[in-house]
């Protein structure tokens, strides 16, 4: 069966940042994994170039819209090329074939009666290219997704009968519990659909930078809604509506998206596909957001991280490793140079790099850089069994996009190798003239490194090619079959001397995030507060009367008629999640909180807020810049005590 893997297509209103790189790295690793296994795989990425937002960005930059789109699209493509992203096609929504495909899709939906013409009056957020109802707005004006102010727009529009797909969508979610992954994200989508779907306005007359209407409909005032245009890229890239040349890859095996665009992919997209009588993708994989040193990245704060800058400083494959190892799929992750350097030094340099260096050293000393696997099984059955067990466990993690668990498990191979060297001390055996035994241990470890590098290949393709070259073999589908599927040993290794692959890093290689400007007013307050605190000291026992625990937000929704409150369900490791009503709506959207690890006061007397029971309180810090939740530096189990 063929595989089809996609990234979202990136808006061309600014250059790539680390969040874009993350989606691309996951998708690339998954595509490489499938290709390594010999699956017929197609991997798509590209750029999303229409809409008012792009038109406005071009104007701000005093450029023609197409010229501007060309330039930014090229920066994405060049970056992915520089990063060796193994895409099979880079689609642009300004490609002629794409536009034809979208028009064809529009005609099919229209002919089916799924698209009709009417008027739309609503609050429109230009930044999100989305209409909202009055009740969805924050404080009657602001976009619930990005917080920017919305405009009232009344225009003639074509509508897609999204409402008629409500039941079919709910049925699909129920019958395919893995459609949305991780599964914990499905609830927010299901609740949204259950809340009632309104027909979707799928054309605009307020701007012109979009796909024109099909000739058969003859309505030049309208251009297509950018999300209809953009979502269709996943099939137009395969030739939908034109050559049909690669449609055999459809349906996609997985479509990766950030959690902020899950709704478009898990509701609108499947409904469009149903209307076109096309099958639905197997999985929509929704990943979390990257923050920098705990703060959301934004251009205005000046803390956006450029993937190119990081890759230039630390190496792109180290970055891939870090991002895919650091964060459980679906959860938010924090980019800190400290955490990055720690992983390079301890996992890449110590565990993997040292093991390789030891093999180069020992093979040179004991057997002129040639290693024969002839005696491995005789002396190392135990280690080989342990190694096979680890390798057998890996596929499931990758199938669930759990790259952090995949890598964690994979690293057990290096422990097996290092332990074997310590236990069997080949240098002692050499002195005791038990050369066969000594060489068997060296060969065991060489085999461990060979197999580990095959399995690490999708995550660190070039680095593992160097490791394979050092060991004297090639990573490809043939070696995957032989060494992984058939569990064979590599008969002979011809070791090449290679300089250390992961030099230790002692100090950050990039400037740290800019520090907030000191605020004299704030500092005065701090001094006053310290004085007050000194008069009010407590015993440590008093502190421990408060039970603080890690909670994981499993559900979050707005409280109607309240501009301040959000209603959350927080898992504290107890039988049922607790309901917590928190005054954080001005600072967080409900979707952004799902799966967040938070700190909860767990033994607070329950209280009622706007008639709703609240069984806990979230810790947060607030100053004149706003409020932020206090969260653990790394994810911890629900219910973990704090203190």
Find residue 269's DSSP bridge partners. none
Question: Binding residue for ligand MSP (CB under 6 A) from 108, 197, 200, 257?
Answer: 257
Residue that has been written with the tokens 């609830």 in this structure? 187
**Which one, 233 or 470, has the nearer CB to ligand MSP?**
233
Kindly state whether residue 87 participates in binding ligand MSP, applying the rule CB under 6 A: no
Write out the binding residues for ligand MSP, residues 233-252 only, by CB under 6 A: 233
Residue that has been written with the tokens 């799928």 in this structure? 202
CA atoms of 398 and 466, how far apart (whole Å) = 23
**Which one, 69 or 410, has the nearer CB to ligand MSP?**
69
Question: Binding residue for ligand MSP (CB under 6 A) from 4, 10, 120, 159?
Answer: 10
Question: Binding residue for ligand MSP (CB under 6 A) from 4, 22, 272, 588?
Answer: 22
Kindly state whether residue 91 participates in binding ligand MSP, applying the rule CB under 6 A: no
Question: Binding residue for ligand MSP (CB under 6 A) from 3, 4, 5, 23?
Answer: 23
What long-range pairs does 340-345 form, CB within 8 A, spacing at least 24? 340/314, 341/505, 341/508, 344/314, 344/318, 344/502, 344/504, 344/505, 345/504, 345/505
Kindly state whether residue 290 participates in binding ligand MSP, applying the rule CB under 6 A: yes
The piece of 202-210, 257-265, 373-381, 560-568 that touches ligand MSP (CB under 6 A) is 257-265
Q: How far does Cα 440 stand from its chain's mean position?
A: 41
Give the binding-site size for ligand MSP (rule: CB under 6 A): 19
The piece of 2-10, 306-314, 521-529, 628-636 that touches ligand MSP (CB under 6 A) is 2-10
Kindly state whether residue 297 participates in binding ligand MSP, applying the rule CB under 6 A: yes
Question: Binding residue for ligand MSP (CB under 6 A) from 34, 48, 95, 409?
Answer: 48
The piece of 111-119, 225-233, 270-278, 347-355 that touches ligand MSP (CB under 6 A) is 225-233
| 336, 341, 346, 349 alpha-carbon torsion, rounded to 10° | 150
Task: Show the binding pattern over residues 491-530: x = contacts ligand MSP (CB under 6 A), - = does not.
Answer: ----------------------------------------
CA atoms of 191 and 567, how far apart (whole Å) = 14
Where b means 16+ CB within 10 Å and e means fewer, 366-393 reads bbebebbbebbeebbeebbebbeebbee
CB of 398: closest distance to ligand MSP in angstroms? 20
Residue 60 φ then ψ, to 5°: -60, -35
CA atoms of 338 and 99, how far apart (whole Å) = 46
Kindly state whether residue 587 participates in binding ligand MSP, applying the rule CB under 6 A: no
**Which one, 289 or 411, has the nearer CB to ligand MSP?**
289
Q: In residues, how long is the chain?
A: 643
The piece of 4-12, 57-65, 189-197, 273-281 that touches ligand MSP (CB under 6 A) is 4-12
Task: Show the binding pattern over residues 408-437: x = contacts ligand MSP (CB under 6 A), - = does not.
Answer: ------------------------------
3-state secondary structure of 451: helix
**DSSP letter string, 282-349:** SEEEEE--EEETTEE--TTTT-PPPHHHHHHHH-HHHHHHHHHHHS-TTS-EEE-HHHHHHHIIIIII
Question: Binding residue for ligand MSP (CB under 6 A) from 147, 239, 251, 258?
Answer: 258
Find residue 90's DSSP bridge partners. 45
Q: Give helix then strand counts, H and E, for the chain.
A: 25, 28
**Which one, 44 or 548, has the nearer CB to ligand MSP?**
44
Contact assessment for residue 147 and residue 153, using Cβ atoms and an 8 Å cutoff: no
User: Which residue has its beta carbon closest to ligand MSP?
Assistant: 258
Question: Binding residue for ligand MSP (CB under 6 A) from 28, 188, 260, 326?
Answer: 260
3-state secondary structure of 369: coil
**Which one, 329 or 379, has the nearer CB to ligand MSP?**
329
CA atoms of 244 and 237, how far apart (whole Å) = 9
The piece of 6-14, 95-103, 321-329, 536-544 that touches ligand MSP (CB under 6 A) is 6-14
Kindly state whether residue 270 participates in binding ligand MSP, applying the rule CB under 6 A: no
Kindly state whether residue 289 participates in binding ligand MSP, applying the rule CB under 6 A: yes
Using CB atoms within 10 A of its CB, is residue 107 exposed (0-12), middle (13-18) or buried (19+)? middle
Which positions lie near ligand MSP, rule CB under 6 A? 8-11, 19-20, 22-23, 48, 230-231, 233, 257-258, 260-261, 289-290, 297
């Amino acid at each position: 069966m063929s595989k089809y893997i996609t990234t979202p297509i990136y808006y061309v209103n600014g250059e790539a940042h680390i969040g874009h790189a993350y989606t691309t790295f996951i998708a690339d690793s998954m595509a490489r994994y499938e290709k390594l296994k010999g699956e017929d795989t197609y991997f798509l990425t590209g750029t999303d170039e229409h809409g008012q937002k792009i038109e406005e960005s071009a104007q701000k930059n005093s450029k023609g819209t197409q010229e501007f789109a060309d330039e930014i699209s090229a920066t994405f493509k060049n970056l992915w090329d520089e990063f060796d992203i193994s895409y099979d096609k880079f689609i642009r929504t300004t490609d002629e074939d794409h536009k034809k495909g979208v028009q064809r899709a529009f005609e099919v939906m229209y002919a089916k009666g799924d698209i009709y013409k009417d008027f739309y009056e609503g609050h429109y957020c230009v930044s999100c290219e989305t209409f909202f109802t009055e009740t969805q707005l924050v404080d009657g004006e602001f976009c619930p997704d990005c917080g920017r102010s919305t405009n009232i727009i009344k225009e003639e529009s074509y509508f897609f009968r999204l409402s008629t797909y409500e039941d079919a969508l709910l049925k699909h979610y129920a019958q395919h519990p893995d459609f949305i992954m991780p599964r914990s994200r499905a609830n927010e989508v299901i609740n949204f659909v259950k809340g009632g779907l309104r027909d979707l306005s799928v054309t605009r007359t307020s701007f012109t930078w979009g796909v024109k209407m099909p000739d058969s409909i003859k309505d030049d005032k309208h251009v297509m809604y950018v999300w209809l245009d953009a979502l269709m890229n996943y099939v137009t890239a395969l030739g939908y509506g034109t050559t049909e040349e690669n449609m055999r890859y459809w349906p996609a095996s997985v479509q990766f998206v950030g959690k902020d665009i899950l709704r478009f992919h898990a509701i609108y997209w499947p409904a469009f596909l149903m209307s076109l009588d096309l099958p639905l993708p197997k999985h929509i994989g929704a990943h979390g957001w990257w923050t920098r040193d705990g703060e959301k990245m934004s251009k205005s704060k000046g803390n956006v991280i450029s993937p190119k800058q990081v890759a230039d400083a630390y190496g792109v494959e180290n970055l891939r490793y870090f991002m895919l190892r650091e964060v459980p799929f679906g959860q938010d992750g924090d980019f800190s140079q400290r955490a990055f350097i720690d992983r390079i030094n301890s996992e890449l340099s110590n565990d993997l790099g040292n093991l390789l260096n030891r093999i180069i050293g020992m093979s040179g000393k004991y057997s002129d850089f040639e290693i024969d696997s002839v005696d491995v099984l005789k002396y190392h059955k135990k280690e080989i069994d342990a190694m096979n067990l680890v390798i057998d466990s890996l596929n499931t993690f990758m199938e669930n996009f759990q790259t952090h668990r995949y890598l964690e498990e994979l690293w057990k191979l290096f422990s097996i190798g290092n332990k074997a060297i310590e236990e069997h001390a080949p240098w002692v055996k050499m002195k005791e003239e038990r050369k066969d035994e000594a060489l068997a241990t060296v060969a065991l470890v060489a085999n461990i490194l060979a197999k580990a590098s095959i399995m690490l290949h999708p995550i660190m393709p070039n680095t593992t090619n160097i490791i394979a070259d050092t060991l004297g073999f090639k990573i490809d589908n043939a070696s995957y079959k032989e060494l992984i599927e058939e569990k064979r040993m590599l008969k002979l290794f011809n070791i090449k001397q290679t300089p250390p692959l992961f030099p230790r890093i002692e100090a950050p290689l990039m400037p740290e995030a800019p520090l907030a400007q000191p605020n004299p007013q704030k500092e005065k307050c701090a001094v006053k507060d310290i004085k007050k605190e000194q008069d009010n000291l407590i015993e440590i026992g008093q502190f421990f009367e408060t039970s603080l625990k890690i909670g994981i937000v499993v559900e979050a929704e707005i409280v109607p008629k309240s501009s301040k409150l959000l209603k959350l369900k927080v898992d504290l490791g107890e039988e049922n999640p607790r309901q917590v009503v928190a005054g954080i709506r001005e600072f967080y959207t409900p979707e952004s909180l799902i799966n967040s690890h938070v700190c909860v006061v767990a033994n607070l007397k329950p209280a009622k807020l706007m008639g709703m029971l609240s069984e806990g309180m979230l810790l947060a810090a607030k100053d004149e810049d706003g409020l932020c939740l206090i969260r653990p530096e790394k994810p911890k189990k629900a219910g973990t005590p704090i203190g």
